Amino acid sequence: MIKIAPSILSADFVNLERDIRALSGAGAHYVHVDVMDGHFVPNITIGIPVVAAIRKITELPLDVHLMIDRPLRYVDAFCKAGSDILTIHVEADTEDNTRKALEKIRAAGVRAAISVKPKTPAEAVLPFLPLCDLILVMTVEPGFGGQSFMEDMMPKLQKIRAYIDAQNPACELEVDGGIDAETAQICRKNGANVLVAGSAYFGAKDPAQFVRQVTT
Ligand code: DX5
Ligand code: ZN
């Protein structure tokens, strides 16, 4: 089954409640929440209180993407705020601390995930795969919505799909960055089953139609 996770980075923040409430009606599967700290990436977005507020107005799982340095410091707080899937970046800390963070997330009853930036090789996920419920492959440099899809990430996506099928078949494989109706199909062919879409979803005239188009 193909799932879509609209990234609220492209929602109307003045009308965030309205935009989030509309997601389930449009057929979205997850709410993708991009958390940026101005260190790990050059942008600052939203944090723990906003995740907690969103939790109160939707039944959809919150897919929280932490683009922050040394996430071990904050995973407990993001779990308590109501994350259903909590993603940390492999580049954000040592292997030991990344493992500790994933274990903490799972101990909190939250699905644990890691993400790889475009320059990070597929092999980087291997030490963590048994601890992961989802792997997120970035198809843009993290930091901003509205960037162009990097098709050269497809060999990496295929490789990670093969690792997942061999070692942890229940694990989901998500792509994030530049996903539209066309690039969604490319990602599906190369093994992704969860598609994050910010500008394409929120810019669509008919978001429900966009969801049908990319998921069927
Ligand atoms: C980028 C974020 C993405 C972003 C995607 O760092 O992780 O989730 O919002 O936006 P689009 O779909 O516009 O590329
Ligand atoms: Zn994201």
For the chain, give the mean pLDDT: 98
Predicted local confidence at residue 184, as pLDDT:
98
Residue 141 CA, ligand 2 centroid: distance in Å: 10
Going by alpha carbons, the residue nearest to atom 10 of ligand 1 is 145
Residues in contact with ligand 1 by the CB-under-6-Å rule are 7, 9-10, 32, 34, 65, 140, 142-143, 145-147, 176-179, 196-200
The model's pLDDT over 138-196, given as tens digits with 9 standing for 90+, comes to 999 999 999 999 999 999 999 999 999 999 999 999 999 999 999 999 999 999 999 99
Q: Which DSSP symbol is given to 35?
A: E
DSSP H helices in the chain: 16-25, 48-55, 75-80, 95-107, 154-167, 181-189, 199-202, 207-215
- Global confidence as pTM: 0.98
Predicted local confidence at residue 11, as pLDDT:
98
Residue 57 CA, ligand 2 centroid: distance in Å: 20
Question: What is the mean predicted confidence (pLDDT) over 105-134?
Answer: 98
- For residue 205, count other CB atoms closer than 10 A to its CB: 6
Q: Which ligand approaches the C-alpha of residue 178 most closely?
A: 1
| Residues 20 and 121: beta-carbon distance below 8 Å | no
The model's pLDDT over 41-52, given as tens digits with 9 standing for 90+, comes to 999 999 999 999
- For residue 58, count other CB atoms closer than 10 A to its CB: 16
Predicted local confidence at residue 64, as pLDDT:
99
Q: What percent of the chain has pLDDT over 70?
A: 100
